[in-house]
Amino acid sequence: MYPEQGPHVPVQRAVEVHQPTPYPPTVAVPAPLAPVHPGTVPAVASIVLPDGRVVTGYAINPAQPEPVAAKPAVSRTAVNIALGGAGFLAVCGGLILLTSFIAALTAFITQLIILAAVIFGGWIAVQILGTRGHQGGGTTVNIRKAVFKRNHFRG
């Protein structure tokens, strides 16, 4: 495969290093201000390679990362727990108020019933006891003796 099987002497050659030479950017002559469409063509950059070829292309701007949303000072979990606790306390307070209202309403109705009983009982007592205390006045009827006299009772 190899034509020579003998010892090889390295060949020293002169090495030239070529650096790409960019063209200086063209100086733009300021044009009168006119509305520019957003789809304008960006500036073109060109470089010369060591073998004489010219490479032309657009400059690529580095991608800007998306701005990170500021983290809230208090975690959302803590806020949710606090709101849940406040809601629970509001419900408990409402139940206590409802219980107190029902107890007060029951006491009020009980007092109204007692007051009605006292008034009605007093009226009945006046009706029963009021006629015994008066002798005279009105028509008296004694069914046992069958004595009917007007405004006077004799026993």
Which whole-number Å values give the CA distances from 126 to 67, 121, 131, 132, 136, in the listed order? 92, 9, 8, 10, 17
Provide, rounded to the nearest whole percent, the portion of the chain with pLDDT above 70: 62
pLDDT digits (tens, 9 = 90+) for 105-142: 999 999 999 999 999 999 888 888 876 555 555 566 55
The Cα 12–Cα 21 span in angstroms is: 28
For the purposes of burial, counting CB atoms within 10 Å of the CB of 136, is it exposed (0-12), middle (13-18) or buried (19 or more)?
Answer: exposed
100: pLDDT strictly greater than 70: yes
Q: pTM here?
A: 0.34
